[in-house]
Amino acid sequence: MFAAKMNRGKDGEEVRSGDVVGEEVALWAAPTVSAPIQSRVSIPGSKSLTGRELILAALADGPGTLRFPLRSRDTDLMVDALKLLGTSIEPLPGKNPFGPDLRITPAAELTGSTSIECGLAGTVMRFMPAVAALSLGPVAFDGDPYARKRPMRPVLEALRSLGADISDDGRGSLPFTVHGAGSLRGGRVEVDASLSSQFVSALLLAAPRFAEGVHVIHTGERLPSVPHIEMTLEALRARGVEADSPAVGEWRVAPGPIAARDLEIEPDLSNAAPFLAAALATGGSVSIPNWPADTTQVGDTLRTLLPEFGATATLENGVLTVASSGPLRGVNLHIPEAGELSPTFVGLAALAAQTKPDGSPGEPSTITGIGHTRHHETDRIAALVTEINALGGRAEELEDGIAIHPAQLHGGLWHAYADHRIASTGALIGLAVAGVEVDDIATTSKTLPEFPELWLGLAGVEPAPAGDDSGDDSSGVTTSGFVSGGALLDGMGNFIGGS
C-alpha cells in the first residue's frame, strides 16, 4: 500500500534518506501531495531558548533544570562546550518525546585549558567566548569549514575592550583562543551589530558575572533580529538580573547573581515555519500544539505574516492552526526582525509565482530587510536564488533581499548548503512540485533532527517496510510509490492512483 522513497548506498545497503554514506550524502525525495494536507505536528524545543538557558543555568547561583530542551546538533555543541568548562549537565527522564530533560549544576569555578567545537552554530561561536573569558586558562574555538566564514570580529573586539585576552590570526573569524583569567571587568562597550544580533546577545548573556556588568551601544545603521535581543534580556530578567534597553540600540545588564531556575523550554516557533507553510503550499490546514500565549520568539510573527500569503491563523487553547484561505498570494515583506523565517517565506513566494490552478497568472513577491542572512549558515540570498532558478523559477538577488517573478517550477536537485533552513525550504517546494530531491536533508539536524520523519508524517507518508526493495533502479537509488494525502504517487510525485 505504501512505501517512502528508500535510498541505497554505494554498496547497495539501505540507508535512511539524508544519511551520510561514506563520503556521499544520500538524496532525499521530497514527498509531493495532490490533496490538501490536514495535519497536526508537535515541534521540539527552541534552539535559541535552549542555548540561552543552558548558559544562564551554567552561570547560575545553584543547580537548575531545563524541561523540554531542544536536542540537536547546535544544542549538543552548547552542552559539550559548557561541560568542557566544568559544568555538570546530566540527562533526566521527563515527558519530552524528543529527548531527556537536563539537570545543570554550575562549576564552582569555570576551568579553561580546553578546545570548544562550534560546528556551524552561531549561538555557540558568539555566546561562548564571554563565558570562556570567565574561566581559568586558554580556551581554543573552531568549527566547521564554513563556520570560519561567519563574522566574529565585533564580538572579539568588544570582549577585548571589556578586558578579555583573545588571540587570533587577525581575520576576525574562527579559529581564535580566549585566554580566560577567571573574571572580566566589563563596563561600557560599542559594537556594530548590523551583521548579527548575536553580537549583542553575546555581550549581555554572561554580563551579570562581569565585575561592572555591561552597557552595550550599537553603532551600525541597521540592527537585525531585534526580538532575539529582547529574548536575551527577558531570559536574564526571569533569573532576577537587572537588564534593560534604556534607548533604541542600547542595552544594560547590572552585575549580580543569576538565579537558578527549573523551567520549561517553548517549542521552536521558527522551526514550525515550514510545517505551517505546508498548509498554504497544499491548500490545507496545519496545527501546532503547545504554542505559547506570550513569547519573545520571532516565530510568533508567523501568525501575522503567513496570512499575507493567503491564510488564516487561529490560536486557541494553545494550538495554532494555519489554514489556507484561497490561492497562494505574492507578498511584499520587509522583515529585518525575522531573517530566520525568510527561507520559508521565499519558498512560499516561489510557489505563489506559479500560474494558479484556475489559470490566473502567478504573483511576484519581494522579501527585503534580510541582507544579514548572507552571514547565516550559508549566504541564504545567493543559495535560495540559485536553487529556485535551477528549478525553473525566476528569482533575483537584491542587495538586502530577494525578488521573485512569475514562473513555473519543475522538479530537480535542491542543494542544502549545510543549511537546515535551505533544506526545509526544498522540502516545502517539493510538497507542491513533483520530483524535488534534497541533497542533504540530514543537515536539518542542526536544529531539528526529527525533520525528515516529521515531514513525512505531515505529508501522510509512512516509511517503507524493511526489506521492501520494489522500484530499484540501476542508479543505486530505489524509488517506489508512496501514499500521500490519500493519493498514490510514484517516486517522482506523479499521481498514479488512490483517492
Ligand X SMILES: O=C(O)C1=C[C@@H](OP(=O)(O)O)[C@@H](O)[C@H](O)C1
Ligand Y SMILES: C=C(OP(=O)(O)O)C(=O)O
Residues that bind ligand Y (CB under 6 A): 121-123, 340, 376-377, 421, 447
- Name residue, grid cell 547560575: 60
Closest to ligand Y by CB, 122 or 460: 122
Q: Which is nearer to ligand X, 72 or 478 (CB)?
A: 72
Max intra-chain CA distance, the chain = 69
Q: Please, which residues have CB within 8 angstroms of residue 413's CB and are 6 or more apart in sequence?
A: 27, 390, 437, 439
Q: Which ranges in 283-331 belong to alpha helices (H)?
A: 302-305
User: Known binder of ligand: residue 393?
Assistant: no
3: amino acid identity, one letter: A
3-state SS, residue 250: strand
Cβ proximity to ligand Y: between 5 and 376 the closer is 376
CB of 282 to ligand Y, least distance (A): 24
Specify whether the CB–CB gap between 369 and 226 falls below 8 A: no
Residue 143 Cα distances to 118, 124, 134, 378, 481, angstroms? 5, 10, 21, 14, 40
CB of 341 to ligand Y, least distance (A): 9
287 is in an annotated binding site: no
Minimum Å gap between C-beta 122 and ligand Y is 3
Residue 464 per-residue DSSP state = P
Binding flag, residue 72, ligand X (CB under 6 A): no
d(CA 484, CA 498): 9
Q: Which does 372 bind (CB under 5 to 8 A by kind): ligand Y, ligand X, none?
A: ligand X
Beta carbon of residue 127, minimum distance to ligand X (angstroms, whole number) = 8
Binder of residue 197, out of ligand Y, ligand X, none (CB less than 5 to 8 A by kind): ligand X
244: cell is 534593560
CB of 310 to ligand X, least distance (A): 26
User: Closer to ligand Y at the Cβ: 379 or 469?
Assistant: 379
Question: Of the listed 337, 340, 363, 387, which one is catalytic?
Answer: 340
With the C-alpha atoms ordered 444, 449, 451, 452, is the resulting torsion angle positive or negative? positive
Active site residue 266: no
Instruction: Identify residue 241 by its one-letter amino acid code.
Output: V
Given the complex with ligand X, which of 177 and 447 has the nearer CB atom?
447
Complete edge-to-edge strand list for the sheet that includes strand 14-15: 14-15, 6-8, 477-478
Are 172 and 199 within 8 A, CB to CB? no
Number of residues that bind ligand X (CB under 6 A): 13
- According to the annotation, is 52 in a ligand binding site? yes
Residue 228 partner contact from ligand X, ligand Y, none using kind-dependent CB cut-offs of 5 to 8 Å: ligand X
Instruction: Using CB under 6 A, list all residues that contact ligand X.
Output: 48, 122-123, 196-198, 201, 224-225, 228, 339-340, 372
Tell me the catalytic residues.
Answer: 340
